[in-house]
Structure 1
Amino acid sequence: MIRKSSINIAKVASRRALSGLVRGRPVCSSFAAQPRSSPVLLRSLPIVSNNVFGIRTYAVTTVPVPEMAESITEGTLKQWVKNVGDYVELDEEIASIETDKIDVAVNAPSAGVITEVLAAEEDTVTVGQPLFKLDTDGSADASAPPAPKEEAPKPAETPKEPEASKTEAPKPAAAAPPPPPPPPPAAKPAAASKPAAASTPETPSTPGSRDERRVKMNRMRLRIAERLKQSQNTAASLTTFNEVDMSNLIEFRKLYKDEILKKTGIKIGFMSFFSKALCLASKEIPAANGAIEGPNGGDTIVYRDYVDISVAVATPKGLVTPVVRNAEAMSLLEIEKAIADLGHKARDGKLTIEDMAGGTTTISNGGVFGSLMGTPIINLPQTAVLGLHGVKDRPIAVNGKVELRPMMYLALTYDHRLLDGREAVTFLKLIKEYIEDPRKMLL
């Protein structure tokens, strides 16, 4: 009797355990209250249980919003690159989070299958918040697709049905002739459609449409608006102008651009020359490369021995200013390559926080878009921003004669709290002299 009862008890226990696994519950009753994705359950059900009962268990990992930067704690979930049920490889991009500075890619911490997403697009997410669930044991799913192929032979076993359909096909082919008659009537409405279009003058209402669209500002645009207004409210902004004759610089570029491109692969432009001229002018007017720091508007002036140039780059989401560091120690070609690399990263949305942090002065080139003249806004806490504009042929006096020369207007917006008018005008005049005679930059 003891043996029979013990056998019966064992059978009942095994049946309950098996049914519990099939329903997704743990075998051990002590973990019955634990959710399926809890780490305790994952440890209590190792993959070895698969070999015992022949049933696959899931190792689900909850992936949180990653650390984005020291100063960024939240962002907007802009896009799910992958969907629930998709198999992803290690480090494959799952989603994209937009912050007020850059877009952050969320990558898979391991290979597996996405089982659930815990946030919707356009939701605000914070660092550490659960974002999605990943079945890290889902690698077996990658081999699942071949299974349906094995069932393919079944339809192959019934070739008679397609044959029957083929024999029936010619009959509809014979019935095909009737369709030709309908085309003529179709042509009549086509002809009628022409006068109809002429008789509907209301349709051209689209040019005078009064429709409106409202689109929520993205985080980058909101941040740009905030910083520009802060600059306008804080700095005592003033702009001084000058014009520069680009003849010598254009001739210099024409002479050597092909040779430089062939030897180095760098396409030399104007930005590197203006950057070098700005670095040299900053040595003579250090306040133009300085900043005001301290509480209550600032009571300390910071002078720098280095020049980190913020280069304004227009992107679909807004204006960004990646930084060329230690430009004063670079050659013209090194500056040109650094600017080109940052420009490509900005347009591809691959800038990092490190690429944009800092900056002691800014160059904004509105001339590439056809600007004739403008007043750029200071990028706080910087003191000055140099604005470049379009090159236009204009008549000017040269040695008592009127000649057509390629001229560019320069604009320097500066913070009058730190930079006096005399210094600002001198700073811009130095840049003009270096550009009009590039050889002076070698002295």
Structure 2
Amino acid sequence: MASRIASRLLRRSSPTLGLLRSYTHVRNYSSQLSGYLLNNCYLDFDHWFTMDDSNTFALSAGLIPVGPQSSKLTRRNNYFPNASPYQLWSRSFASDNGDKFEAVVPFMGESVTDGTLANFLKKPGDRVEADEAIAQIETDKVTIDVSSPEAGVIEKFIASEGDTVTPGTIVAIVSKSAAPAETHVAPSEEAPQKESPPVKAEEKSPKAEEKPTKVEPPKKQAPKPTPSKTSPTEPQLPPKERERRVAMPRLRKRIANRLKDSQNTFAMLTTFNEVDMTNLMKLRSDYKDEFVKKHGVKLGLMSCFVKAAVSGLQNQPIVNAVIDGDDIIYRDYVDVSVAVGTSKGLVVPVIRDADTMNFADIEKGINNLAKKATEGALSIDEMAGGTFTISNGGVYGSLISTPIINPPQSAILGMHSIVQRPVVVDGSILARPMMYLALTYDHRLIDGREAVYFLRRIKDVVEDPRRLLLDI
């Protein structure tokens, strides 16, 4: 059996080596591989091996003698009996000696092709563990970490901050055997010597005191008042040292472009209404403890407004539709985007199939997405899509505003702060917790009647949540 395999290797090694020599990036290795393969017969040519430009090669499958040379390889199934000195191995990383590994940019999503290397979380010489973040990539939508493939020490950075990178780009080289860099503190032996300059200043001080007695030309400074004559007419600009210029983050650029495109594309119109929050706030107060006890999450206002928006979209399907060229696409599902403000900008994660969820499911979904948004851990899929957006500016104290449509949707609901205002109830003037609502819609698709009916439906449901139970 061994003789048949050896003759098979020798027969097939020559044409295979000829094929390898035809590729430019492996020509330098052909002579070495010839001796390595023909003399030792280590490689089974029923399998492939690959090379790269970093003077390294990785075996996807091959016959390697069991011994010191195979200590850093990964064992696979073999073609020989257990007594055979040859086993089948594979190497997962390409390196000169299996000691160095490459930290590369991961896959960033179907719709994201590149990103900007925002900052490094480590420095060359720092110790890192496996899967520990080394750098952060900022895309149009989310921030993605570049992790170390193995535990080791960062040998060097290949990319620089501010570079545009794509999936697979090498960011850093991690070495398993290198020692962490030690910080050296410079000795402060020269500190006493720095005290000598003040002595020289004291020696010169008497001479400086004698000069004012000999030279008395204060009159030569008289031309200084001349600028004061022109200063009243010239603007007093702050010095440039008090200004800072920083690069705009990719997320902010994306937000700016989308909002401007929305303004240029849609025929936006906003309609307003106000809602009495008395009944909804009483509902929360009466059942908040039982709600937390059963569902493990607090009952907030957003879940009721999401359910109200679902009811409104089902009553006015045109608000849930979108223009696509010369066609109108009606969506028979409701994916509600909830605007969340973060330190890096506004993001709109999506609550999928909100029309099939109850209050508890919506509250859990909102809390989960808000937490991820704050931590910068939202994925591309969690922000893709959405048929309708709700923006709550009331958490920041906004009294009234006109929100901008989130493309490619056709409408957006703006919530605002709750303020005690005098209103007429059954002929009496009472102080009630009131909120202004604003609906911005694409007037190319949605007429004013549908927009007003939609906003009225939200008002009716919020003022009397029992309508959701009775579906009226």
In the superposition, the TM-score normalised over structure 1's length comes to 0.72
The 4+ residue runs of structure 1 with deviation greater than 4 A are 34-37, 41-44
Task: Tell me which of the two structures has the higher relative contact order, counting C-alpha pairs closer than 8 angstroms and 6 or more residues apart.
Answer: 1
2:280 is aligned with 1:249: yes
Q: How do residues 354-365 of structure 1 correspond to structure 2 at under 5 angstroms?
A: 354-365=381-392
1:102–1:41 CA distance, 2 compared to 1 (3 A):
closer
Q: Distance in 2 between matches of 1:36 and 1:428?
A: 62
Indicate the larger mover: 409-418 or 61-70: 61-70
Q: How do residues 327-366 of structure 1 correspond to structure 2 at under 5 angstroms?
A: 327-366=354-393
Name which of 68, 77, 94 aligns with 1:48: 68
| Aligned residue type for 2:119 | Q
Q: Distance in 2 between matches of 1:226 and 1:362?
A: 18
Q: Percent identity?
A: 53
Task: Quote the RMSD (CA, aligned, Å).
Answer: 3.0
Could you list the runs of 5+ residues in structure 1 that have no partner in the other structure?
Answer: 1-27, 149-207
Q: Distance in 2 between matches of 1:395 and 1:63?
A: 62
2:147 is aligned with 1:120: no
Q: Classify the secondary structure of the residue corresponding to 1:386.
A: strand
**Contact 1:37 1:61 survives alignment (8 Å):** no
1:274–1:289 CA distance, 2 compared to 1 (3 A):
same
Q: Once the 2 structures are TM-superposed, how far is the Cα of residue 209 of structure 1 from its aligned partner?
A: 5.9
User: Where does residue 420 of structure 1 map in the other structure?
Assistant: 447
| Aligned residue type for 1:128 | G
Could you list the runs of 5+ residues in structure 2 that have no partner in the other structure?
Answer: 1-29, 34-50, 72-95, 183-236
**Contact 2:388 2:410 survives alignment (8 Å):** yes
Q: Distance in 2 between matches of 1:35 and 1:99?
A: 28
Q: How do residues 291-302 of structure 1 correspond to structure 2 at under 5 angstroms?
A: 291-293=322-324, 298-302=325-329
Q: Distance in 1 between matches of 2:351 and 2:67?
A: 52
User: Where does residue 39 of structure 1 map in the other structure?
Assistant: 56
Q: Once the 2 structures are TM-superposed, how far is the Cα of residue 123 of structure 1 from its aligned partner?
A: 2.1
| Aligned residue type for 1:288 | V
| Aligned residue type for 1:121 | E
**Contact 1:37 1:60 survives alignment (8 Å):** no
Q: How do residues 71-150 of structure 1 correspond to structure 2 at under 5 angstroms?
A: 71-135=111-175, 138=176, 140=177
In the superposition, the TM-score normalised over structure 2's length comes to 0.68
Q: Distance in 1 between matches of 2:127 and 2:244?
A: 38
Q: Distance in 1 between matches of 2:300 and 2:414?
A: 16
1:335–1:29 CA distance, 2 compared to 1 (3 A):
same
2:452 is aligned with 1:432: no
List per-residue Cα deviations over 1:249-299 (Å, max 9, x = no partner): 011011111221233221111000000000011111001111111xxxx21
Q: Classify the secondary structure of the residue corresponding to 2:165.
A: strand
1:50–1:242 CA distance, 2 compared to 1 (3 A):
closer
User: Where does residue 205 of structure 1 map in the other structure?
Assistant: none
**Contact 2:101 2:150 survives alignment (8 Å):** no
Q: Once the 2 structures are TM-superposed, how far is the Cα of residue 333 of structure 1 from its aligned partner?
A: 1.2
Q: Once the 2 structures are TM-superposed, how far is the Cα of residue 224 of structure 1 from its aligned partner?
A: 0.1
Q: Distance in 2 between matches of 1:47 and 1:264?
A: 59
Q: Distance in 1 between matches of 2:59 and 2:450?
A: 69
User: Where does residue 215 of structure 1 map in the other structure?
Assistant: 246
2:395 is aligned with 1:368: yes
List per-residue Cα deviations over 1:328-350 (Å, max 9, x = no partner): 00001110110111000000000
Q: Distance in 1 between matches of 2:310 and 2:446?
A: 17
